[in-house]
């Protein structure tokens, strides 16, 4: 922001970077979960091995948590005065 970036630019940059990391992790996790259910079919009670509602709920929950975990600090960072941050460094 000290070099001319708007608060919305900073917020967008942080959220975009988080989205890339989270989506990569979710895709890898989905692949591992689908592969792992074949090994754990006998342990799953009341849930199918490829229950789309369960997978969707977990993805939504983890995605929401990741969004909040990045949005709240990013929003707080946009409220910092650039001169105060530069003086601190």
| Burial profile 28-62: b = 16 or more Cβ within 10 angstroms, e = fewer | eeeeebeeebeeeeeeeeeeeeeeeeeeeeebeee
Q: Which of 80, 83, 61 is nearest to 7 (CA)?
A: 80
Q: For residues 20 and 58, what is the distance between their CA atoms, to the nearest angstrom?
A: 18
Predicted TM-score (pTM) of this structure: 0.75
Model pLDDT for residues 57-83, shown as the tens digit of each residue: 999 999 999 999 999 999 998 888 888
In angstroms, the CA 11 to CA 80 distance is: 12
44-56 confidence digits (pLDDT tens): 777 777 778 888 9
């Amino acid at each position: 922001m000290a070099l001319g970036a708007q608060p919305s630019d900073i917020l967008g940059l942080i959220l975009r970077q988080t989205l890339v990391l989270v989506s990569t992790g979710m895709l890898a996790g989905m692949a591992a979960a689908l592969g792992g259910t074949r090994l754990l079919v006998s342990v799953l009670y009341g849930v199918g091995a490829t229950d789309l509602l369960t997978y969707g709920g977990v993805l939504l929950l983890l995605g929401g948590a990741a969004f909040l975990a990045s949005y709240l600090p990013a929003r707080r960072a946009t409220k910092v005065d650039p001169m105060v941050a530069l003086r601190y460094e």
